[in-house]
Amino acid sequence: MRTLILYGSKYGCTAKCAYLLRDKLENADVIDLSQNYPVSVSLEDYNAVLIGTPVYAGKINKAVAKFCTANLDKLKEKKIGLFVCCGLPEKAMEQLETGFPKQLVQTARVKAYFGYQYEMEQLNFFERIIMRLLGKHRNENEIRHAAIEDFARSFAQENGK
């Protein structure tokens, strides 16, 4: 029984979370969709697929959205888990549910918010201005390690069913 973790990431937070999650699961492979699209992996080799994305300007990662839409029929046959990294905790689940295709959200056995991270020096000029307008001036690391652990535990239980 193998698990595939797919993610998109612009500045590395979702990537970090994907690998933290991988370390808590048995037999899991990780692929960065934002670097490897179209992905060469065969979904037939996996019975569980976990998909993670950051949110920018209210939208999920483009490569993630594209992959989910293009492979919706195959994904619906899998045990699905979805996770999101974003700076607005109160909007996290709403952004997850509106960002991923509806049918995938309905199929998902576990959905979670893993927190967020950003470093001002990594951002481009416009992104820095946006962050300043939002009152954000310093680097922040709010990755929710407990949420990643809970997700892995819940998914392992669900996956056993």
Ligand X SMILES: Cc1cc2nc3c(=O)[nH]c(=O)nc-3n(C[C@H](O)[C@H](O)[C@H](O)COP(=O)(O)O)c2cc1C
Site of interaction with ligand X (CB under 6 A): 9-14, 54-58, 85-88, 91, 95, 116-118, 123, 127, 130-131
| Four-CA torsion 6, 147, 150, 158, nearest 10 degrees | -40
Tell me the one-letter amino acid at 58: G
Nearest distance in Å: CB 94, ligand X: 10
Nearest distance in Å: CB 28, ligand X: 18
Selection from 70, 38, 33 nearest residue 53 by Cα: 33
Nearest distance in Å: CB 75, ligand X: 21
38: preceding bond cis by omega (within 30 degrees) = yes
Output 13 or 25, the one with its CB closest to ligand X: 13
Tell me the one-letter amino acid at 117: Q
Output 53 or 79, the one with its CB closest to ligand X: 53
Output 109 or 136, the one with its CB closest to ligand X: 136
